[in-house]
Structure 1
Amino acid sequence: MHHAIQAERLVKTYGKVRALDGLSFEVPTGTIFGLLGPNGAGKSTAVRILTTLSRPDDGTATVAGLDVMRSQDQVRLAIGCVTQKISVDPATTGRENLVLHGALYGLPRRDLRRRTDELLARFGLAEAADRPARTYSGGMQRKLDVAMGLIHRPRVLFLDEPTTGLDPEARAALWAEIAGLAADEGLTILLTTHYLEEADRLAATLAIVDRGRVVAAGSPDALKNELRGDAIVADLAGTESLAEAERALGRVPGAREVTVSGRRLRARVDDGAAAVPLVLAALDAAGVRVGAITVARPSLDDVYLRHTGRTFEEEAA
């Protein structure tokens, strides 16, 4: 299988902070790949290296078959990059933003006009094309930003936290556009995100990053299927001893991987529905009051918890 991106043992240190600590992953050509992890995990540092904006202290990387340190100019022509911060010029129109961006790549005028019209139509921006971008909603500005990254028909597109700050409706709309790009244009897309649902929905394969290293990699379904059974989550209503509550839950037959996060208990069981009465009885016998209890199939948050001992909620706190 051909790989559009290959990163091998990347290391990057800023002072005493080791942002990347031997990061390695591969992205198959023509797929959406998710680089998943909380803020500070090393995702943006990896993207900066792969897009030639930074150099690693150690390790190697190729994008579209080109070495990111030896062939920087060629890499920049082969990629599109949409950063966390929207790069749209609010004072100019949507059309002008696209034309200016395409001119920077030296696109012929006729091709640029055709490509601009094509992208405006694709992203639903044709009617707003001649309005200043400052009049666009956040979702429209982000769509325009992605279109700018595509103006020169790159082989690889980097989307760094593309839906941060968008409302749920705008986020869902952009998800649909991203999925369509991979299907319709055969692009390879590297998507960095800290939204679990985003990675689960879009990525064919992904890598979960923790403290500069890949701790798990594979398809979302394969990673979740590694976690046998169901997850039970109990939110405690009282101020009882967490240690006693954890011990009580650990005594439930079949309960494993018992963890505590704040006033929340988690455990894995083979059959969630059958285990709920046993969990409630065990906690009640220990004098632990439960405010709510839920059962769910394995999620990417459970995968992260398995490999790091922490949940995404704990990382965000």
Structure 2
Amino acid sequence: MVLAVDGLRMRYGDAEVLHDVSFSAGHGEVVVLLGPNGAGKSTTIEILEGFRLRSAGTVEVLGVDPAAGDERWRSRLGIVLQSWRDHGNWRIRELLHHLGTYYAAYATNTIERPWDTDELLAAVGLSSHAEQKIKTLSGGQRRRLDVAIGIVGRPEVLFLDEPTAGFDPEARYEFHNLVRRLAAEHETTILLTTHDLDEASKLAHRILILNAGRIVAAGTTGELTALIAGEDEVRWSVDGQHFHTTTPDSTGLARDLFTQYGASVRDLEVRRASLEDTYLALVRGQEVAL
């Protein structure tokens, strides 16, 4: 396992913000942490990055306890925080080239470090802005630079904390493709936090839902939506009259409707449980059989 977390706990004074959190991730796996503000997502990531000391439990990242990780271990990680503070007069190309020099000493026979600057600029969609000063960038462009900074060393593990905040739809689409390439082509293990349920369902091999410091559900999008034993909503019309009902068997209902009314059935619409339904039910405290 690339990431292995068992019985993780975090306490600030009398407040316990993480309660017995356990999960793992393998090579090339994208794991998404979902949860409301204050659920413990950022704290979990900071412990795995070695930025914060845990109160209890065991944690290993690339076979090393983050609390004891040395410089060589850190060179194998990539981190994209929710915000960065850089000198605004740096030009994008020179900043990425400068940061890349710190990783050159940690190249291996299998991993070339750092990423080529021009290749990296193209990967995050900043080639045409390479000579701009950071202070002139828009919010979305600044966020793309944050991602470039996080992956400049070709990390084996990448931590992304709300990475697409401020992205426009095109930039978000390009970023999602980049995440998929990193995982599939480079076997980068990625742990990502987001509030965007659509983003989670598109990127995640596995989703962990945190609420009040506990993992309340874990699985693929399909597995999580299956946890909600709800009924499908079905809407249709016959001869201008509109109908609406709920049923555990929408397929059977549709078949019966067409058997009875044939081509008179119009505007048939079936809404099944979604990841959003599952997420809202879990964070609102609905009982779910895990």
TM-score by length of 1: 0.72
**Structure 1 equivalent of residue 137 of structure 2:** 136
In the aligned structure 1, how far is the partner of 2:115 from the partner of 2:197?
A: 37
**Structure 2 equivalent of residue 71 of structure 1:** 69
Contact in 2 for aligned 1:52/1:68 (Cα 8 Å): yes
**Structure 2 equivalent of residue 27 of structure 1:** 25
Contact in 1 for aligned 2:34/2:41 (Cα 8 Å): yes
In the aligned structure 2, how far is the partner of 1:48 from the partner of 1:98?
A: 23
Range 4-13 or range 162-171, more displaced: 162-171
**Structure 1 equivalent of residue 274 of structure 2:** 299
**Structure 2 equivalent of residue 49 of structure 1:** 47
Contact in 2 for aligned 1:52/1:75 (Cα 8 Å): no
Structure 2: stretches of 5+ with no match in the other structure: 107-111, 235-244, 255-268
Contact in 2 for aligned 1:32/1:190 (Cα 8 Å): yes
| Cα deviations by residue, 1:226-246 (Å, 9 ceiling, x for unpaired) | 33464549xxxxxxxxxxxxx
SS where residue 127 of structure 1 aligns?
A: helix
Range 208-217 or range 117-126, more displaced: 117-126
In the aligned structure 2, how far is the partner of 1:273 from the partner of 1:130?
A: 61
Distance 1:214 1:43, change over 3 A: same
Distance 1:271 1:34, change over 3 A: same
CA apart distance, 1:30: 0.9
Contact in 1 for aligned 2:100/2:115 (Cα 8 Å): no
* Percent identical: 40
1:16-165 → structure 2 map (5 Å cutoff):
16-107=14-105, 115-165=116-166
Distance 1:60 1:132, change over 3 A: same
In the aligned structure 1, how far is the partner of 2:167 from the partner of 2:126?
A: 17
| Cα deviations by residue, 1:77-124 (Å, 9 ceiling, x for unpaired) | 22000001134543211112212222333559xx87871122012222
CA apart distance, 1:208: 0.7
| Cα deviations by residue, 1:205-232 (Å, 9 ceiling, x for unpaired) | 1111111111111111222233346454
Range 13-22 or range 38-47, more displaced: 13-22
Contact in 1 for aligned 2:225/2:278 (Cα 8 Å): yes
TM-score by length of 2: 0.79
Count of aligned residue pairs for this structure pair: 259
In the aligned structure 2, how far is the partner of 1:76 from the partner of 1:9?
A: 23
Q: Does 1:183 align with 2:180?
A: no
- Kindly report the root-mean-square deviation, in angstroms, between the aligned alpha carbons of the 2 structures: 3.0
Q: Which runs of 4+ in 1 moved over 6 A?
A: 111-114
In the aligned structure 1, how far is the partner of 2:270 from the partner of 2:87?
A: 47
Give the counterpart letter for 1:271 in structure 2: S
Range 21-30 or range 222-231, more displaced: 222-231
Distance 1:232 1:18, change over 3 A: farther
**Structure 2 equivalent of residue 8 of structure 1:** 6
Distance 1:114 1:158, change over 3 A: closer
